[in-house]
Amino acid sequence: MSLNRTFAIVLRQFYLVRGSPARVLPLFAWVGIDMVLWGFITRYLNAVSSAGFDFVPVLLGAVLLWDFFTRVMHGVTIAFMEDVWSRNFLNLFATPLAISDYVAGLVVSSIGTSSVGLIVMLFLASAIFGLSFVGYGVAIIPFLLVLFLFGVALGIVGAAIVLRFGPATEWFIWPIPALVSPFAGVFYPLATLPTWMQYFSRIVPPSYVFENVRAIISGHPPSVNALIWSVVLAVIYVLLACWVFTGVYRHSVRTGLVARYSAETVS
Amino acid sequence: MFNCHFGGTVTMPNVLSVENLSKKYGDTIAVDGISFDVERNEIVGLLGPNGAGKTTTINMVLSVLEPTSGSIHIEGIDVARQRSQALDCTNFAAVYAPLPGNLTVYQNLHVFGLIYGVRHLPDRIESVLEQFELRRFRNFKSGVLSSGEQTRLCLAKAMLNQPQLLLLDEPTASLDPATARDIRTKIREFAMRGLCGVLWTSHNMYEVEHVCDRVLFLSHGKILLEGDPKTLPREHGKSTLEELFIAVAREPLALERV
């Protein structure tokens, strides 16, 4: 791997974002709106529900963590899509750039863009609605780590899908977080789900995060074993995603899709 | 200045060596067992009608298309085994591969300069901006440049790392005659100055005759003819390179027997 080449991919993303309000605004606007919307919903629920239960950490905290995951995934995918939209594959892949340099560049770009969203969400949720992550203790570190890693994994898989099946398939990848969310138990305990869905939930790393968030809020200690397992699971997904992307790239080089990307073929 | 290390040989290898290169798509043969070299300070023209296999060959040399069989060595480095090292000393410009229009001229050169590991990058960028008369466009988005200016930008990118192997796929296709002549002169100077070799495709036979030291005529994925573009037409009973080109395109079998 070459740090210079990875930096080049990140720099390209930085140049794009810096020079374009249309790219800057989505970094924080939608997650900011989510915080405000869910902040007021939790206030309302606090007002109408029985005394003693605070919806802010349960709902607003969950939305914040889920939005962070979504921003990470979209951060990777959007960085990749910039090369699709500008038809840049031939220029990029006819250089000494290795796939590992490229994917690392997408991930680092996503760290930058998702951090902006996270900071804005933390500011709004704490300043306006009094959300505090202090109660989560050090568990917040594995929470964010698992969501980050799983977001990276799905982002890379999304990029692989678009590379394999063509630019039109981008519309399959944006709703992926919405498809995963019922199994992640963002807003409800996994026990709420039917048994067959609970089986799927066990292989979705964020489900362990949200179960532990609810456990901590209920006054129970987090399950260290579950958190370790979720980190391991998320790492496995990242490795699998890199393997899938590399396989798709090699297939594209074999069939000529990289050279003629706009041809769009599923052969 | 050179980034490449020769691939384990004592004598300097050819800039490009292609051996028995083939590409098949199912039953369709795009490139059929071609072999050729590009030597130092040599400009080789890869000619042929549309669909002859020129761009397929260039894509395989650039490692964006995997050959079905055969080998490619750049500076003695096997492209299949050491892709990054081989492409370190290569660059290309193609009429169908403009640089991203949403970055400025300077930003594009900066990003690609980093990818190619160009030393003293800011100075080198200034140098190619000057060389290709792009200085006044440095902060313009590449997408708003005219097609001729975009072609010059692609060529500036192609020269950025001072490659030993330069691949040019119809580099002057969108340039006016005066600019095209300037560009041809610059590329010729570039090829003669260092230890560089150039593989050049063009449909402009006047250009090929003036620029190339040697030409390869491709038809249906095979090399039919090879030689000096100034003498080759007479050797095959044609008065001009363009006539020879048309004959290759229309009657390749007849020429194969010559």
Q: What is the pLDDT of residues A32-55, one digit of tens each?
A: 999 999 999 999 998 888 767 788
The answer to whether residue A264 is domain-embedded is no
pLDDT at B2: 45
Q: What is the pLDDT of residues B26-54, one digit of tens each?
A: 889 999 999 999 999 999 999 998 888 99
Residues forming a β-bridge with B74: B16, B77
The answer to whether residue A105 is domain-embedded is yes
Domain that holds residue A186: 3-255
Residue from B176, B3, B148, B154 nearest B90 by CA? B3
Contact call for A91 and B99, based on CB within 8 A: yes
Q: What tokens were used for A121?
A: 């969400």
Q: What tokens were used for A79?
A: 């960085």
The answer to whether residue A266 is domain-embedded is no
Q: Is A52 on the interface with B (CB under 8 A)?
A: no
The answer to whether residue A96 is domain-embedded is yes
Mean pLDDT of chain A: 91
| Distance separating alpha carbons of residues B101 and B80, to the nearest angstrom | 31
Mean pLDDT of B112-137: 95
The answer to whether residue A228 is domain-embedded is yes
Count other C-beta atoms under 10 Å from residue B243's C-beta: 14
Provide ipTM, 2 decimals. 0.89
Contact call for B88 and A93, based on CB within 8 A: no
Q: What is the pLDDT of residues A64-92, one digit of tens each?
A: 999 999 999 999 999 999 999 998 999 99
Q: What is the pLDDT of residues A103-157, one digit of tens each?
A: 999 999 999 999 999 999 999 999 999 888 887 888 899 999 999 999 999 999 9
Q: Is A1 on the interface with B (CB under 8 A)?
A: no
pLDDT at B252: 64
Domain count across chain A = 1
The chain B residue lying nearest A7, using CA atoms, is B114
The chain B residue lying nearest A258, using CA atoms, is B64
The answer to whether residue A82 is domain-embedded is yes
Q: What is the maximal distance between C-alpha atoms in chain B?
A: 55
Out of B56, B65, B115, whose CB is closest to A8?
B115
- Nearest 5°: CA angle at B109, between B106 and B110? 80
pTM: 0.91
Mean pLDDT of A211-217: 91
The answer to whether residue A109 is domain-embedded is yes
The answer to whether residue A24 is domain-embedded is yes
Mean pLDDT of chain B: 89
